Amino acid sequence: MNEKIVVVDYGMGNLHSVNKALVKVGGNVTISSDPLIIASADKVILPGVGAFGDCMENINSYGLTKVLLNALNSGKPFLGICLGEQLLFEGSEEAPGVKGLGFFEGQVEKIRTTFKIPHMGWNRLELKSPSPILNKAAGEFVYFVHSYHAVPKDKSIITSVCDYGTQITASVGRGNVQAVQFHPEKSSSVGIEILQAFKEWKP
């Protein structure tokens, strides 16, 4: 059975490049902002580009907060990408007072480094704990564009990091929920392998 993957459309995200990459690995993909369609998905992807506050405002105004929390807690595979990873935390320094989805405890903080911000370009992944979607990604270069990164309260959920003059959280995961700060859809063959692993993943 080719499971239905829904890419959540809330007006801010790299939807079409994510969709194209998933189609390339044989995914049965739908882009939707309809809570009923998202609820009926076998797997959910939450992408995100832009500012934390704007994204949460859109998610709330589209009426998607409840369906996303249900999906996160449902046991079905869930993938957050870039800002879609950050939204899974409680809040962000980028938008003081704005509540995130709060699936993971912790905050999103500005990258504090002497290197140029935003952190943009290719960086090598160092795996910290097992992830079902990163089996072939250890030591590989993936593509980042961001100025903030997640700082989880529970460090054991960090699945990979990269070095940018400081240690940056590159991905996190717990149970059915995996999330990456980088863009797999822009990360060449390793990114395609990550999306393929998500397509085939059965928690």
| Secondary structure (DSSP) of 141-184 | EEEEEESEEEEESSGGGEEEEEESSSEEEEEEEETTEEEESS-G
- Residue 55 falls in the annotated catalytic set: no
How high is the mean pLDDT of the chain?
95
Per-residue pLDDT of 15-42, as tens digits, reads 889 999 999 999 999 999 999 999 999 9
pLDDT at 1: 62
Domain hosting 115: range is 4-200
Which residues contact residue 8 at a Cβ distance below 8 angstroms, ignoring those fewer than 6 apart? 32, 33, 38, 44, 45, 46, 47, 64, 68, 84
Model's pTM, two decimal places? 0.97
CATH number assigned to the domain comprising residue 22: 3.40.50.880
pLDDT at 13: 74
Single out the catalytic residue among 149, 162, 183, 193. Answer: 183
Confidence at 152, pLDDT banded by 50, 70, 90: very high
Per-residue pLDDT of 179-191, as tens digits, reads 999 999 999 999 9
Number of domains observed in the structure of the chain: 1
Single out the catalytic residue among 85, 94, 140, 185. Answer: 185
- Residue 193 falls in the annotated catalytic set: no
Confidence at 12, pLDDT banded by 50, 70, 90: confident
- Residue 146 falls in the annotated catalytic set: no
